[in-house]
Homo-oligomer: A and B are copies of this chain.
Amino acid sequence: LNKLKKDNTGYDLKNLFIGAEGTLGVITAATLRLIPRPRSVETAFVGVASPAAALELLGIANEKSGGNITSFELMVRLGIDAVLKYDAGSRDPLNEAHPWYLLIELSAQARTGLRDTMEEILAAGVERGLVADAAISSSLEQTKAFWRIREMFGEVQRQVGGSIKHDISVPVANVPAFIAEANDAVIKLIPGARPLPFGHLGDGNIHYNVAQPVDADKEKFLARWHDVNTVVFDVVLKYGGSISAEHGIGIMKRDLLPTIKDPVAMELMRALKRTLDPNGILNPGKVL
């Protein structure tokens, strides 16, 4: 319940509990810091040719507006198609189809200047041939419509059929190579499988979902869950990535953890667990 921004008295106990999924202790109270709501927000829906083009645009955005990027979401065409088909409330913000899309959000306390920054980023993107088309939101309603597409992305996948899911991260610069190689590996394993990557490009965190082939048997496809995991995680590990970027380990990835984690780190985690929970009563059976 420390309210300090800086405190250097001993070990960082707080971060030991954050992300431990309740296996080291129970959090019963917390101090939260409030920050002022941003005064200006600019949102753009952008069509790009490839993840590589999206990455280069992220570099431009970082240069021009560093700390103001609050979202840089990548979406593949197949998912946009599904949203437009199955969500009656969504329509395409752009006139033509593009292979990939970005939802970019900039936020700032300053009341003015952010629109110019967004326009500069997109203009530089057009000039370098990275941006095929873009719409900047001109109303709160339009902003909500852009976000609805992103938010329905996960929802509509069940309409597309069975879906094998991954929550991975790689170093941001490796996202395009990861997607290309994971796509190849998955399609080689299951011809006709339809990769549906989307997510937080700015964090290198991709929800790498794979939809079943058209007209395939859903149960048979889902029975390959572990096989698909294996080929995808191989590519993740090749790029020094994580098999759980934000969703944690829980039970589902518990047995997988020792196969991908450094053995020294695993042993250290087990030692911490034994020290803090010698009787094994804290969320037993999870993570470790």
Contact = CB atoms under 8 A, between A and B. Distances in A.
Interface of A: 2-13, 15-16, 18-20, 24, 35-36, 38, 62-68, 108-110, 112-113, 116-117, 169-172, 200, 203-205, 240-249, 253, 257, 260-261, 265-266, 268-269, 271-272, 274-276, 287-288
B8 A246 contact: yes
Contacts of A268: 11, 13, 276
Contacts of A275: 271-272, 274-275
Return the 4 tightest CB-CB contacts between A and B, nearest first: A66-B109, A15-B15, A113-B113, A7-B242
A38 B68 CA distance: 12
Given A10-B265, A13-B265, A257-B10, A4 B113 contact: no
23 contacts: A5-B169, A5-B172, A5-B204, A7-B169, A7-B244, A7-B245, A8-B242, A8-B244, A9-B253, A10-B19, A10-B261, A11-B24, A11-B269, A12-B16, A12-B18, A13-B269, A15-B15, A16-B16, A35-B62, A36-B66, A67-B67, A272-B272, A274-B275
Q: Is the interface of A mostly helix, strand, loop or mixed?
A: loop
Nearest to A9: B244
Contact of A19 (B11, B62, B109, B271): B11
Nearest to A248: B8
A4 B257 contact: no
A6 B38 CA distance: 24
B4 A170 contact: yes
A108 B66 contact: yes
Contact of A6 (B108, B204, B274, B287): B204
A108 to B, nearest CB: 7
Nearest to A243: B9
A5 B169 CA distance: 8
Given A8-B246, A36-B62, A67-B109, 5 more contacts: A6-B245, A9-B260, A10-B269, A13-B265, A64-B109
A8 to B, nearest CB: 5
Contacts of A246: 6, 8
